Amino acid sequence: MMIRVMITDDHAIVRQGLKQILNETKDIKVTGEAETGFQALKIVRQHNYDVMLLDISLPDRNGIEILKQVKKDHPHLAVLMLSMHTEHEFAIRALKAGASGYLNKQSAPAQLVTAIRQVASGEKYVSPAVAQELANSVNINNDRPLYEQLSDREFQTLCLIADGKTLADISSGMFLSPKTVSVYRARLLEKLNLTNNSELIRYAIKNKLVD
Burial (CB count within 10 angstroms: exposed 0-12, middle 13-18, buried 19+), residue 94: buried
Which pLDDT value is given to residue 90? 81
Which pLDDT value is given to residue 156? 87
Q: How far is CA 173 from the centre of its chain?
A: 15
Burial (CB count within 10 angstroms: exposed 0-12, middle 13-18, buried 19+), residue 72: exposed
Which pLDDT value is given to residue 100? 95
Relative to beta strand 3-8, strand 125-126 is unpaired
Which pLDDT value is given to residue 211? 67
Q: How far is CA 41 from the centre of its chain?
A: 15
Which pLDDT value is given to residue 142? 54
How much is the pTM? 0.68
Closest-CA residue to 87 (of 211, 186, 172): 211
Which pLDDT value is given to residue 127? 78
What the chain holds in terms of domains, given with CATH numbers, is 3-137 (3.40.50.2300), 146-206 (1.10.10.10)
Q: Report the pLDDT averaged over residues 58-85.
A: 89
pLDDT tens column, 97-136: 899 999 888 877 888 999 999 999 999 998 777 777 767 6
Buried b (16+ CB within 10 A) or exposed e, 178-188: eeebeebbebb
Q: Helix-strand-coil percent breakdown of the chain, rounded to 5?
A: 55, 15, 30
pLDDT tens column, 156-205: 899 889 888 888 888 888 888 888 888 888 888 888 888 888 888 989 88
